[in-house]
Amino acid sequence: MDCRSRGVGTCLAVVAAAAALSAGLPLAAQDDAAPRAYDGHPDLNGVWQAIGTAHWNLEDHPSGPGHPDLGAIGAVPPGQGVVVGGDIPYLETALQQRRKNFENRMTEDPEAKCFLPGVPRATYLPYPLQIIQGDRKIMILYGFAEANRTIHMDKETPEPPPLDSWMGRSHGRWEGDTLVVEAEGFNGQAWLDRAGNFSSSSLRVEERYTPLGSHAIMYEATLTDPEVFSRPWTIRLPLYRRLEEDARVLEFKCVEYAEDLMYGHLRREPTR
Amino acid sequence: MTFLRAIAFAALAGAVSAPATFAAELHHIQITAASPSEAVRWYGRHFDCTAVASQPDTADCDGVQLIFAVQPTMGSSQGTGINHIGFSYADVVSKMAELEAVGVRGSGVRLQRFDDGATLRELPGMFLHGFVFDPWGTRIEVLQDPQNEGFHQVHLSATDPAETLDWYRKALGGRPAKFKGREDALRFGDVWLFAAQHPDGKPAPTRSRAVAHIAFDVPDLGRAGPEMRRSGADFESEPETPDNARSPAKRAFLRGPDNVRVAVVESGYAGIASKFEAAAAQEAAEPYAVPRTPWGEPDMQGVWTGNSAHGIPLERPQDLEDVEALTPEQAAARRERGTLGSIWGYEREWRDTTLGYDKMTPSTQVAMIVDPPNGRLPELTAEGKRMAAEAQAERARKAAKTPDGPEDLNMYHRCITRGLPGLMMPGIYNNGLQIVQGPGFVAIQKEMIHETRAIPTKPRQPVGEKLTSWLGDPQGRWEGDTLVVETARLNGRAGYRGATAAARLTERFTRIGPTKLRYEFTIDDPTVWVQPWTATFAFDLDDEQYELVEYACHEGNYGMFNALSGARARDKRAAESGE
């Protein structure tokens, strides 16, 4: 079944129906309903994580070499893309930049430098994230570079971002059981993956978090950036609940591990 | 055009060429500074002004008074219609050397260097001169004009300098003169009034900037007023004896050209007794009912800042042993000293912004440590003394050479962490603290370096002993309305005041009023101190106007590049000179 080419709703219904049929159970008997918060909205509190290769490359990609010193550990595993409809619709001029990014990825990828990952990249980095959902704000804490976001649920009119930033400014609302987040105000320096996919400071992201039962959320992000893309496009991937009882987002202050890459040439005994 | 406006117009037009029949003198310059007494001392020490006995906020500089008003400083004089004031010395080279020797730290003297790095420059045919700033943002020219030593001039910045000088001539009776036979100016008594071309657009209003206004003295304001009005002067306020006036003399304000606020005062005017406006930060007398989240936990959510606590020292100073609380004036001066002491090396404009940015009334708390009751850190153990000596030797070793690499800079400069409880401590800027709660979790986000702690309020198994980290593994619980947080598994690399990884850190967050959050921490580290110690301060809710910015510290750490490339340049120079 190809969920990528359909809307989430359709896809979910089909999955659920298929599961119900194969189990010979009526839908209502599924013991897997998404938990509800005090106010009746889905309760997204918990520790979640993407699985897959989106952090390597959002598009379909075969396996490839990494840094030679790391052997197979650094190699790029093959992966099925998460871009709905296949490829990212780059403007011709932007493709050159992506090529350049790819060629220089070992030193120029903001992830390598332990920079804040931006949105949506923070979501599918290979680290857990924790959602803290309260009554006015939702905070997401990410497992990389101490990144976090505050999603304002209490602003009737979205406020303009006070200044451009890596993680942007986010306003959220509920559409049925879907948490819809509009994010903008990005500084245009973040990349989208380790393959050099990127966006500019004109980027606007609409994210949709839709619970798939209690243990998964379907995550969709539509990226609109007329400076880089010819049309809005969407990625879709599930976030899985980390089921370990003591699951948590551990502190990963990665600055130390990027200092040699960034400042090695300025050491008394240069290492780069 | 209405009838009334037509009359006003005619009145203006008819007044064009009539100069004032009286000659005003420069009376005072109003400078904003959080601590008038400190400002009086500063101008006394560095520019030979004298304190005025009956006016504790006033320094007398050769008959011109500098009156210091207690207000947050909203930025330098530069950029407004009053660019700077000037003092003249017979030997400006030695004067500038003397000022340079003071240093810029704290309430020091900040030098403005010319493009070639020099502090002095010859203005051909005029004089040798340079510029410094007082700690509150007033730009001061230091020049060599042997004919006129002491307080020398007020230098305006005008969109049309000739027109501006003409206004001061007509409204206040300044005498036209050519300085050194070249520069058009006016004289008020001994003092020169210059006007230079404003570089860009309209000058910013002087009101609430470092030089808030200049005041001229006229013998009889009752008679001079109508004449000024006829000359086209625009009165912002009528001549009257101000509230809290120290003398019965009258004062009025004019809207001068280039957004300059001009006061005119009668002879004998002695300023007003300024009263510091202490905010009514008194805690409510009746017990405060802490609000609850919809799921029933105490609600501490919102954006708080540690701004009011900035400046409170950890330990009680020796000279404040029996003092219960500072006066608001002392508290304002303390915070300003703290700010100036921390950011002395910053770009001036940035520094001015920082000084003016903090609107929260400073706390009058004497010290943070409340236990031991003497307000000081407990005695060190023998091991603690050994470790402190070792740490000091290590710091001295690093200070004695250029840094080998990033590791020779501290964890804060490397944008790694301020540690615990260090990251909670107030500093000069980015003191935002955002709290977001979900059932069973309190997220505490500190703006500086963007560190966020997710505190569970339900018991959970701590991580294994080998899994240490900078901020450790926290465990929270509610004790009544207080969130108590204990942290284990610290890596010990950013211990506060020498605390080790084995320290027991207990923090308590209590909302003690609608806008006050008390923060208290106890460090129990028997390796280092003979007894546990506890410190406290409060955060203030600032939900309406404050928003945490993304403090992308490492991403923008130009300081690291500059420190290391500067170190390598110094190494190279040392090698070349054969050292």
Half-sphere exposure of B26 (CA within 13 A, CB side): 29
Q: Which residue of B has its CA nearest to A47?
A: B454
Q: What is the pLDDT of residues B387-413, one digit of tens each?
A: 999 999 999 999 899 999 999 999 999
Which has more confidence, B319 or A64?
Answer: A64
The reply to whether residue B564 touches residue A136, judged by beta carbons under 8 angstroms, is: no
B168 close to B174: Cβ distance less than 8 angstroms: yes
**Per-domain boundaries in chain B:** 27-266, 302-325+365-555
Euclidean distance between the first and the last CA atom of chain B, given in angstroms as a whole number? 80
Going by C-alpha positions, the residue among B269, B214, B276, B213 that lies closest to residue B240 is B269
pLDDT of residue A1 exceeding 50, the answer is no
* Pick from A150, A256, A262: CB nearest B416: A256
What is chain B's pLDDT, residue by residue, as a tens digit (579 residues)?
Answer: 334 443 333 334 334 456 677 888 999 999 987 678 888 989 999 999 999 988 888 999 999 999 988 765 567 888 899 999 999 999 999 999 999 988 766 677 888 888 888 899 998 888 999 999 888 789 999 999 998 999 999 999 999 999 999 999 999 999 999 998 889 999 999 999 999 999 888 998 898 788 999 999 998 888 888 888 888 889 999 999 988 888 999 999 999 999 999 999 998 898 887 655 433 334 444 568 999 999 999 999 999 999 889 889 999 988 888 889 998 888 888 887 777 666 655 665 555 555 545 557 889 999 999 999 999 999 999 999 999 999 999 999 998 999 999 999 999 999 999 999 999 999 878 889 999 999 999 999 999 989 999 999 999 999 999 999 999 999 999 999 999 999 999 999 999 999 999 999 999 999 998 889 999 999 999 999 999 999 999 999 987 777 888 999 999 999 999 999 999 999 999 999 876
Outline where B173-240 has alpha helix (H): 221-230
Enumerate the residues of chain B whose CB falls inside 8 A of the CB of residue A132. 436-438, 441, 443, 454
Rg of chain A in Å (alpha carbons): 20
Q: Which two tokens stand for residue B41?
A: 């001392």
DSSP lists the bridge partners of residue B303 as B434
Of the candidates A110, A135, A255, which has its C-beta nearest B415's C-beta?
A255
- pLDDT value for B347: 60
Distance to chain B for A170, nearest Cα, Å: 13
pLDDT confidence band for A56 (50 / 70 / 90) = very high
Task: Choose from A111, A148, A171 for mutation: most chain B CBs within 10 A.
Answer: A148
How far is B386 from B527, CA to CA, in rounded Å? 11
Superfamily designation of domain B27-266 = 2,3-Dihydroxybiphenyl 1,2-Dioxygenase, domain 1 (3.10.180.10)
A250 contacts in chain B (CB < 8 Å)? 463, 467, 469
Domain regions of chain A by residue span:
1-31, 34-245+252-266
Q: Does B565 touch chain A (CB under 8 A)?
A: yes
Indicate left, alpha or beta for B572 from its phi (over 0: left) and psi (-120 to 50: alpha). Answer: alpha
| CA dist., res. B573 & res. B553, Å (int) | 30
Residue B438 at interface with chain A, using a CB cutoff of 8 Å: yes
- What pLDDT does residue B556 have? 94
- Verdict on whether the full-model pTM lies above 0.95: no
Would you call B437 an interface residue with chain A, using a CB distance cutoff of 8 Å? yes
Report the range out of A9-18, A195-204, B261-270, B509-518 with the highest average pLDDT. Answer: A195-204
Reported as a single tens digit per residue, the pLDDT across A155-167 is 877 778 878 999 9
pLDDT of residue B82: 96
Cα separation, A217 vs A237, whole angstroms: 9
- For residues A176 and B276, what is the distance between their CA atoms, to the nearest angstrom? 54
Chain B residues with beta carbon closer than 8 angstroms to that of A245: 461
CA distance A263 to A165: 23
Residue in A with minimal Cα distance to B552 = A116
Tens digits of per-residue pLDDT, A133-190? 999 999 999 999 999 999 999 887 777 887 899 999 999 999 999 999 999 999 999 9
On chain B, the residues whose CB falls within 8 A of the CB of A246 are: 460-461, 463
DSSP B96: H
The CA distance from B570 to the nearest CA of chain A, in Å, is 11
Ordered strands of the B55-61 beta sheet: B50-52, B55-61, B64-69, B25-32, B211-218, B261-266, B251-255, B235-240
Alpha helix segments (H runs only) across chain A: 8-23, 92-103, 105-108, 121-124, 255-263
End-to-end Cα separation, chain A, in angstroms: 49
